[in-house]
Structure 1
């Protein structure tokens, strides 16, 4: 006897299998180079940033850059959460400086610009204690090279114990500031109950104690013209946006800025997001093993639904017009299952053809 089953769809292609540490970030450069990062979340991380070269994981930009020196925290990578190739010759590397979501090491939390032609670090940006708090976890980053003399970077603070926020960094001066600090759009949705693989996702310790799993602002994307910044808390199904001109309007203070935030409604629960050249936003749907497209008119659809998509993390669009993302089984980590690690190696880098180029940033 045959039975009806769930309908899966979308042509998913496996690009790389990871048999060791768990990846989070992926970014594909304008020349098709593929970069991956591995945060320090308890696995034996040999290099926190790598490039996939002929199927091998090569420390990037060098093995030395992946060696953290406590006496010089700004010089080596400690725990990289996100990487973004800007399409204009630079790979931006976001180091949390906070292994296992601990308090960030002073000077360890940083944004590093690497020249993709020379494979050399060209600048490192660090943050003051007023911007990177003891509760801060730097999560994802987007750059816009058109604003100001050298551009700006927008970074999410996906704190699990303090206020969520967006961090704005002037790439010329190195000055940074927090916006929408602790507001509804960057905070955990108190009514959100995540359900993944048929069960509620929550912290479950080996001693039997439990607590809600709550992570603030995480996914971030920018419109092709740089005028709209989109973002979402990890513990939420809502998509929010703010017009970027308002962020730099000196007549609007941060308390007033919240009134200008747009709530696009539910898009599904997402980790990473990315924007295509036509303004379409692509977002993971970690509760439903899928990837969703959010169009400029606000309509949405699922473009791929596949049981292999076990927690779609960071997304990147390559010059080949494929959408790339890691499926890293985040929901199977030991902290959610009474100390038992349920992840099954390998983790995978997948791609799906979307027929669209990435949005430009300059």
Structure 2
């Protein structure tokens, strides 16, 4: 256990901001989403703006008087809600082998439609702390009402980024999941597997955590979410939250924007059941795919060489393991955030419990790194 909180807190730049945050109890929906570690050892955490009042959506963890606090990254100005040219709501992001951060901005705040220009890919150089590029994701690629840009993987070898759109941006209405492919060279996007069975929720799917139904007041419906790229960059793996299967597709088909959409749809492989629902995934440089286990309360691994799924680790405090990543020292880093309790109506989370939100680390082997480092 690296860090833990009963609720998130920030290293605020001024007292009024801190006072407002505490008076309105905005921490009650401040959920640590994606977790990553850069080459300098800094730990980052995204906090999506699924409700109003989240101080900063992209953050670096700093310690003050022995307490872990979040600090807006790359700055407070870059996290100003309402300014579509800066970060609005971030869940998924990636740090590549060049120490560049690819930030996926969902655009929407509190599930309102994404304003034009708010959905984007922001590329930030962590070595020089400078903006390299900001690329708008247009309406025809990710509809502003239904889109829910979730996570991404980066292939610098071929010059592509793959993005999951969970399609649940309009709660209570239609789900429109899909995969988005970005070509770095031509700076163009293509949407594939739109509303394909593998990117939608599994029909009538319900699941429990600790024998408690996830969301008492409404069915949970989340399409394509977890995404992982094989070490050789040839296979894209993905899964929906409301389902247990792992799916894959050949990236050669995705990289060619002339490949017919029907051919891509017909080429999807159901790899098999993980035996658990999953949120985040991440592949290592050896070809293994690490996946979070929501029902299993931990992290599992799929080994393509043997076609086997197995549980790696578990703990009763690992309630809703969201994201998994790698440090530079042979460990996986992952977080648990009790999403199902925080966003239940009414909330079922005990805010006095010191281990509601946890960042974990586990050694998995010498030389084990992210897929981006595979030669």
Normalising by structure 1, we get a TM-score of 0.88
Written as runs of structure 1 = structure 2, the 5 A alignment for 1:1-362 is: 13-17=1-5, 19-20=7-8, 21-42=30-51, 44-54=53-63, 55-70=68-83, 73=84, 75-133=85-143, 134-147=145-158, 151-160=159-168, 161-202=174-215, 204=217, 211-249=218-256, 252-267=259-274, 268-296=276-304, 297-334=306-343, 336=344, 338-342=345-349, 344=351, 346-355=356-365, 356-360=368-372
Where does the alignment leave 5 or more consecutive residues of structure 1 unmatched? 1-12, 205-210
SS of the residue corresponding to residue 185 of structure 1 reads coil
Give the Å deviation of 1:251.
Answer: 5.5
- CA shift at 1:265, angstroms? 1.1
Q: 1:50 to 1:279 in 2, by over 3 A?
A: same
Secondary structure at the aligned position of 2:110 is classed as: helix
Q: Deviations over 1:317-336 (max 9, x none)?
A: 110111111101001024x3
Return the TM-score normalized by structure 2.
0.85
1:200-255 C-alpha deviation (Å, 9 max, x unpaired): 22351xxxxxx321110000000011111000011110000001001134553112
Q: Quote the offset at 1:31 in angstroms.
A: 3.0
> What does residue 7 of structure 1 align with?
none
Q: Secondary structure at the match of 1:255?
A: helix
**Other structure's SS at 2:296 match:** coil
**Residues 10-58 of structure 1, C-alpha deviation per residue, up to 9 Å, x if partnerless?**
xxx3334363221111111233221111011226321111112344422
In 1: Cα distance, 2:294 partner to 2:321 partner = 6
Deviation (angstroms), 1:121 = 1.4
Partner of 1:4: none
Q: Name the structure, 1 or 2, with higher relative contact order (CA <8 Å, separation 6+).
A: 1
Structure 1: how far apart are the matches of 2:152 and 2:4? 24
RMSD (Å), alpha carbons: 1.8
CA–CA distance in structure 1, aligned partners of residues 260 and 119 of structure 2:
26
Question: What does residue 16 of structure 2 align with?
Answer: none
Change (3 A) 1:259 1:129: same
CA contact (8 A) 1:96 1:137 kept: yes
**Aligned-pair CA distance for 1:172:** 2.9
Report the Cα offset of residue 130 of structure 1.
0.7
51 and 221 in structure 1: CA distance in 2 versus 1, 3 angstrom threshold: same
Q: Following the alignment from structure 2 to structure 1, what is the Cα–Cα distance between the partners of residues 224 and 93?
A: 17
| Distance verdict in 2 for CA 1:105–1:199, change over 3 Å | same
Aligned equivalents of 1:308 and 1:82: distance in 2?
A: 23
The alignment covers a number of residue pairs equal to 336
Gaps of 5+ in 2: 9-29, 169-173
Structure 1 residues 119-175: Cα deviation after superposition (integer angstroms, max 9, x where no partner): 11110011221101121100001110111xxx1111100112332100011123321
For 2:2, what is the secondary structure of its paired residue? strand
